[in-house]
């Protein structure tokens, strides 16, 4: 059995070619030098972090959208009460 066959699918790292902005590439190379790791490690970590942040942002937007829909039927006065604003009552003379 070859080494490639023994590696679990979760650990496989397919190769690909990317076109990166020059500034991003230079910064990734700088980080790799400082951390004393290879460029692939830095790019893989940056991509994973970015995707994680994007997922969080997408979920937050979905939750906000649901809140907007849930509260869209309330009047301004009802929203104020929900926000904790106690409406003033006008005393009758």
Phi, psi of 86 (to 5 degrees): -90, 120
Q: Are 61 and 54 in contact (CB under 8 A)?
A: no
pTM of the model: 0.57
pLDDT tens digits along 34-65: 999 999 999 999 999 999 999 999 999 999 99
- Is residue 4 included in any domain, yes or no? no
- Is residue 7 included in any domain, yes or no? no
Alpha helices in the chain (DSSP H): 3-6, 22-35, 39-71, 76-82
Could you give the CA distance from residue 76 to residue 93 in angstroms, rounded to a whole number? 27
- Is residue 78 included in any domain, yes or no? yes
- Is residue 5 included in any domain, yes or no? no
Range of the structural domain that residue 66 is part of: 21-82
Q: How many domains does the chain have?
A: 1
């Amino acid at each position: 059995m070859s080494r490639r066959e023994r590696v679990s699918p979760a650990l496989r790292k397919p190769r690909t070619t990317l076109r990166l902005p020059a500034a991003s590439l230079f910064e990734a190379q700088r980080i790799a030098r400082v951390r004393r790791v290879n460029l692939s490690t830095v790019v893989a970590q940056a991509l994973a972090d970015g995707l994680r942040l994007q997922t969080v942002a997408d979920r937050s937007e979905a939750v906000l959208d649901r809140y907007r829909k849930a509260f869209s039927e309330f009047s301004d006065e009802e929203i104020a009460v929900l926000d904790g604003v106690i409406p003033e009552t006008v005393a009758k003379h």
